[in-house]
Structure formats: structure tokens, C-alpha cells
Amino acid sequence: MHAPHPASSSVEDYLKAVYALETRLHGPVPTNALADRLGVTPGSVSGMLRRLDELGLLEHQRYRGVTLTAEGRRVAMRTLRNHRLLELLLVELLEVPWDRVHREAELLEHVLSDELAERIAAKLGDPEFDPHGDPIPSRDLDLTERETRSLEEIEVGETVAFVRVSDADPAMLRYLSERGIVPGVTLTVADRQPFGGPLTVRHADGDHPLGGQLAAAMRVA
């Protein structure tokens, strides 16, 4: 059975969240993990998961969790493509600060037609990544996740390319952008404080301390 088109915004949000957690966990997504990500109760998640199972968008494995079906993944990829194209459009053409585009894209991703999405992609030159370094699904809804490491894993003296950062915390993004630390720049880990303390990265214009939470959110290659 195919999902209704267009799917409701709540359905798309759930499928997008399941995809993100599947990618991180490399397997079925537990109900509690999904509830935590969406900020809702496990009880309300269970009801929606039953509905999505009936629609053929995911499969629920008792005591293990849920996995997307091929159709569920298609809907999730379409939503992700819309979201990431919109973020890039807002940053590059409308000059919206990168710490504000996530919320705007969350609202607009559900109402963007496929035709308009393709016009945006063409205008932007069929981009591969959004402003935060997240890969944009292709027109055929294929997505290749890059192999990256967390910045917090990098040893002192190592030089790496900063390629991706979580867009969940706008304050973190503002802190980085104010220091010119955006995807594409090269960073050298100059110092690391013990017991989970901050690490210091060297960038073109000087040294910058980065707390453990921020370093964990940054991905490097």
C-alpha cells in the first residue's frame, strides 16, 4: 500500500525521524528513542507507529523497534530533500543566518511541491550538501552518507576538514559562525583538557575553545 500523497506533516516528521535514528543506530529504532527525538510520549508514538505500519510505511518488530519500508524511506527522503534544499535556498539566496534556517525549513518542507523543489535545485546548481554539511538526497531520492568522525575523537596535533554539524542548537551554530568555523574549513586540534573538558582548535584567524557538547556535534573528515 502506498502512502497518501502528499503525506501529512506529522507522518513525514515521523518517517524523517525514523530514518535519522536508523542511520545512527544501524538497525531497528526503539519506540523510546523515537519518542525522545520527537519530544512526545511513548504512548502517542505507539499509536502513530500502528498507523504507519497499516499504511505500509514502516514495519514494527515486537521488542526490537521499527524499520522503514521502501515506501516509507521514499517519503522520508523526499521530505529530507525538501528540507535541505530549502535551508540552502534561505542561506544562499535570501541570506538568512544558518542558525535560523532549520526552523523555517521544518515548516516549509511539507508544502513544497516536487516541481518547485526541482526548480530550487536547478537554481542552486543541483547541490550535494546543505549549509550544515548534511547531504541532500538526489532527484531520484538516493542518499549517500559520508564516513565522518566526531571532532571529540580527534587527537591533539591532528588536522582535519570540518564537514558537518548538527543544526539542532542555533546557539552552537551562532558561536561557530562568529568564529568563521563553517563546513569546508580546516581545523587543527591544538589542545585538549582532561576529563571531558573543552578542546582548542586552530583555525585561520586564531585558536578557539570548543566545549565537549559542541565538539560532539561537529563531524570531520
Q: Do 132 and 159 lie in a common domain?
A: no
Give the chain's domain count: 2
Name which of 158, 155, 151, 219 is nearest 188 in CA terms. 158
Q: Domain end: 145, 175, 202, which one?
A: 145
pLDDT in tens, the chain (221 residues): 344 445 689 999 999 999 999 998 989 999 999 999 999 998 889 999 999 999 999 998 888 899 999 999 999 999 999 999 999 999 999 999 999 999 999 999 999 999 999 999 999 999 999 999 999 999 999 998 889 999 999 999 999 999 999 988 999 999 999 999 999 999 999 999 988 789 999 998 799 999 999 999 999 99
Q: Domain end: 145, 173, 204, which one?
A: 145
Q: What is the pTM of this model?
A: 0.90
Q: Do 3 and 82 lie in a common domain?
A: yes
SS3 readout for 15-45: HHHHHHHHHHHCCCECHHHHHHHHCCCHHHH
- Domain limits for position 216: 149-220
Q: Do 78 and 126 lie in a common domain?
A: yes
Q: Do 109 and 206 lie in a common domain?
A: no
CB-count burial class (<10 Å; 0-12, 13-18, 19+) for 43: exposed
CATH number where 45 lies: 1.10.10.10
Q: Do 112 and 193 lie in a common domain?
A: no
